[in-house]
Structure 1
Amino acid sequence: MLRTLQSISRKVDSLGVESRGIERCLPDERSTSKWVLLSIAGLWNSGCGGLTSMSSFFLGPLLFGLGYKDSMVVGLLGMLLGCLLPAYAATLGPRSGLRQLCLVRYLFGRFAIKVVCLISVIGLGGWTVTNSVIGGQILLSMSNGRVPIEIGILIISLLSVVVSIFGIRLVLKLETVVGVVVIITVVLMYPMTRHDITQFHENVSVGDGLTVIGNRLCFFTLCYSVTATWAGIASDYYILLPETFSQKKVFFFTLFSIAVPTTVGAVIGLLIGNAAVSKPTWAAAYETSSLGGLLNLVFGAWGGFGKFLLILLWLSLMTNNIINLYSSALIIQIVDPWVYRNIPRWFMVLVVFAVTLVLAMAGRDKLSTILSNFLPMLGYWITIYFVILVEENVIFRSTKLVNLFRFEFSEDEIADEVESKEMACEATVSQKYGQKPCYNFAAWDSASCQTYGIAASLAFCVGAAGAVLGMDQVYYIGVLARKIGDHGGDIGTWLIVAFTGLSYPVLRYAELRIFGK
């Protein structure tokens, strides 16, 4: 079986499919073209500015009963705060040449990373299923039922998997082109709906004072998760940049590349959501055919041209799925060395495609709603990871707080002092220079040069305990969350920051003292 797969892999590679998996992109393999950065901006534009992000912001007024001012302020603040996480995570991409979850190995070690990978794949797969179902709903509504939802799901899934198979360079090119089309379409939604969205600015939140606070907290967490979850895959798309590329530039470039298109889509989503609360025809369309029916009605105001624009916006679901499928395949390879050495990346794309297609078909009537409630939980995991990463960099891998965006020594300086990557461990560098250790990215696949992950794993559990106490999800409301209003309030993210932030430094210090790495 394995030999057959390898034989097929050689034939597929000859077609131009990207054969690189999670292997490190070496400095001499990087691109010096200025178009790479433009392509990355296009990727964020298409992935963040379309329906996937926009769909979450409809829920402020439609699900949480928040008025115009509340939903607008809370939604945008949560979204902007979430943008900081992928912006910081992306800074490691050019410097390391490694995918995001490969970098997580330096924190969680070889065993706990398997759990992290499982959570990440479930999250990306969940978004893929949701996108596919929404795409099917749109085609169903546009065709007046002539295109079954199953066919719509199949179409968007097939288009997504083809591009994902051929690799990062094609992904970046396609995302750049589609991103321009998507953002233009979203901008056109403003004049398209101007008569419907201007008269509902006086909408107020439903419930007493404490209940409204709880709803604000829940919506804040949802919007925060929309952008924060990109931190799990951010550096995947920066490995082609030169390792000398400024990390400050990467941070602010990523921050604005995610925040701007997401804000454009978020505002129109919030406006339409508020209008749908009071506009009977829109409310009925949403109740009957979910988001697909509502969007079909909104774009229908411009007749045939409106339908054409909706198809263009529909493409954003595909581009978001492309990102999810591409990164999911890489994450699966990280689970075990045998996988990435023997199973090609494109084959793992097909596996993820098959699983998500089956789930989308099986749950086409209910799964989208379930996942919309479940997926904000991914923001919990990302928050734990972010807190650990920042504390590791600031406290244990940097001598000063100002070194947050740079590392102490270049890889060449370290390589000159050691003869093999097995010797280039963090402890060796620390002893030689008498300072706190930097990352040795050359030893990315050497377990002896990485931590055991004990501190990160225990801090993860402590942070998860905080999440359980403060979470407010459809299937469970934490003990502390229940005390906020009639429906609870999600404070899980804030408890995670406190629990993880206080526990990790203590645990990591103990790990260093006991194991020396």
Structure 2
Amino acid sequence: MDIESKKEKFVISRDFENGSEDSASFAPPKYISWIYKLDNFGIETRGIERVSTEERRSLAANKSSLNRFLHVFGLWIAACGGLTTMSSFFLPTLLFGLSMKDSLICGLISMNLGCLVPAYCSTMGPKSGCRQMVGARFLFGQWGVKFVSLICIVGGIGWSVVNCVLGGQILIAINNNIPLSVGIVIIGVISLVIAIFGIRVLLNFQTILSIPLIIASILFYVVVLKKVDYVHESNVLVAEQGFSGLTVRGNWLSFFAIGYSVTATWGSGASDYYILFPEETPSYQIFIVTFLGIAVPSTFVAIIGTICGSIAYAYQPWNDAYNNFGIGGLINECFKPWGRFGSFIVVLLYISLICNNIMNTYSVAFEFQLIDRKLAYIPRWCWAIVMTIIYVVLSVAGKEHFSTILSNFLPMLGYWISMYITILLEENIFFRSSIKTKTLHHNEFDEKANSDWSYNWSNWNKPKGITMGLAADLSFAIGVVGAVLGMNQVYFQGPIAKKIGDYSGDVGMWLCGGFTGVVYPFLRYWELKRFGR
């Protein structure tokens, strides 16, 4: 794409600032104009711009509906059916001292509950043609969405650190001569290359790899279940800890927050992968394929991860491998009896980390463009490079603290996504119905808009055509109070969390969502009455 054809993008950026579509075109600053010449290499040039209804219909004419759904289903399988998801489910026994029964009940309920969040968020993609956080402008307003975008950036970088550190552990467990930092860099570089070339390459890459990754997970079942007799011994050791019932419930709640966060945090970018779907695509189809695409592979790997962690609690060779080399060392130890073939399977599981990391690198690049109008001048692929540099450096710095990163970082993401989905649900249910639209008609709302929730998506870049965001921003701030009261982290334990057992229990996700949900309808009603949008 040449400089001239890029002007449309900059008009969009200027229009969002002014709330008008009549602004004159202007070229990018001369000192960065050379960047756009690199777009000719076939990388995806679209940033936060909305994909129009006409463009989506044109693209849909070249691909069948079944083909589109198969690609996106393969994408979710590759991203969720590997070690990134599995890694959290090694921890309920090893870190929280839960029995096998408690671990499975807690993990599977929390994880599948979390799947509902991205499944619902994804339905906005075909209707809007907008990236997930671009659509969040209709909730948080022009300025509030900047803060939300920063949270998404932190979340995406955090997940990438998890992937990179685990990948480094795996390679060093296979070969002690390979520095951990090499495994980290390999994941970062491959993720970056695929993410740069955009959504079409990403979909094809993920779909192709989904099949060998499924096979690798099945073989992991085979090798782990050979030691399944140690689960009983593990349960005995857990019982001997002598935890009170309240302490067990506290640990249960703390792991519940982790399991929920593993899948729920996909909600921050779920609709990014459906913006090329035609607007007429039924929402229930999008919801089902997303829920199953995340829930099925996540459940599959979560079960074996939980079993493996429980066995490692009692089986000394696996326990030593975990203590010396982390989860990566534990996985490698499981496959040692299979020799070189076992090492090959471990490498396949290593590749699953890349599949997950690609999606982080791809989606988070858009959040940088939402922070400020001037940052939208910089192409998406440039921000992907910036993000990769950041998380590779952080991964090298935190490579010795994998379990700490997981147990303290994931619940924090669960807090914010709980507040976001609460606001989104209440906005759609209480304020975007056809009746409300007719009663509270304004340029943000459109009675004739072809949308389930009566959004006028053409206003995505017009601050005067969307909400001011006061209700969502204030509700979010109040929700933070709930998170602080209920959080159970190394650096802070809320007063309510402290009352749940000897080690406290994390109820921050419940309290922040509850606080937000109670106040948002009242604040939003006031905002509509006071400002009309």
With normalisation by structure 1, the TM-score equals 0.92
| Aligned residue among 68, 86, 101 for 1:36 | 68
Question: Which shifted more, 328-337 or 200-209?
Answer: 200-209
How far the C-alpha of 1:137 sits from its partner, in A, is 1.0
Question: Which shifted more, 148-157 or 267-276?
Answer: 148-157
Q: Which residue is 1:21 aligned to?
A: 47
| Aligned residue among 344, 365, 369 for 2:379 | 344
Q: Deviations over 1:305-337 (max 9, x none)?
A: 111011011101111111001111011111122
Alignment of 1:27-66 (within 5 A): 27-30=53-56, 31-32=59-60, 33-34=63-64, 35-66=67-98
| In 2: Cα distance, 1:108 partner to 1:424 partner | 17
Q: Deviations over 1:74-133 (max 9, x none)?
A: 100000100000000000001100000001110000111111011110011011011111
| Aligned residue among 16, 19, 35 for 1:8 | 35
| Aligned residue among 133, 137, 154 for 1:105 | 137
Q: Deviations over 1:41-78 (max 9, x none)?
A: 11110111111110000111110000010001110000
Q: Deviations over 1:229-251 (max 9, x none)?
A: 00000000001111100001111
How far the C-alpha of 1:399 sits from its partner, in A, is 4.3
Q: Is 1:244 matched with 2:284?
A: no
Change (3 A) 1:274 1:368: closer
Alignment of 1:93-492 (within 5 A): 93-143=125-175, 145-201=176-232, 203=235, 204=238, 206=241, 207-340=243-376, 342-366=377-401, 369-399=404-434, 425-426=443-444, 429=446, 438-492=454-508
How far the C-alpha of 1:424 sits from its partner, in A, is 7.5
With normalisation by structure 2, the TM-score equals 0.89
Q: Which residue is 2:117 aligned to?
A: 85
Q: Which residue is 1:412 aligned to?
A: none
| In 2: Cα distance, 1:498 partner to 1:368 partner | 29
| In 1: Cα distance, 2:437 partner to 2:209 partner | 39
- Structure 2, unmatched stretches of 5+, are 1-27
Change (3 A) 1:255 1:65: same
Q: Which residue is 1:510 aligned to?
A: 526
Taking only the aligned residue pairs, the percentage that are identical comes to 47
How far the C-alpha of 1:6 sits from its partner, in A, is 2.4
Check the 8 A contact 2:162/2:405 in 1, yes or no: no
| In 1: Cα distance, 2:107 partner to 2:410 partner | 16
- Structure 1, unmatched stretches of 5+, are 401-406, 410-422
How far the C-alpha of 1:4 sits from its partner, in A, is 4.3
| In 2: Cα distance, 1:313 partner to 1:437 partner | 41
| In 1: Cα distance, 2:466 partner to 2:136 partner | 10
Q: Secondary structure at the match of 2:108?
A: helix
| In 1: Cα distance, 2:204 partner to 2:403 partner | 29
| In 1: Cα distance, 2:248 partner to 2:418 partner | 24
| In 1: Cα distance, 2:405 partner to 2:72 partner | 31
Q: Deviations over 1:374-398 (max 9, x none)?
A: 2221010000000000000000001
| In 2: Cα distance, 1:213 partner to 1:76 partner | 16
Q: Which residue is 2:20 aligned to?
A: none
Q: What count of residue pairs does the alignment treat as equivalent?
A: 491
Amino acid at match of 1:426: E
| In 1: Cα distance, 2:480 partner to 2:152 partner | 15
Check the 8 A contact 1:190/1:268 in 2, yes or no: yes
Amino acid at match of 2:423: I
After the TM superposition, which parts of structure 1 deviate over 4 Å for at least 4 consecutive aligned residues? none
| In 2: Cα distance, 1:504 partner to 1:497 partner | 10
How far the C-alpha of 1:278 sits from its partner, in A, is 0.4
Amino acid at match of 2:395: A
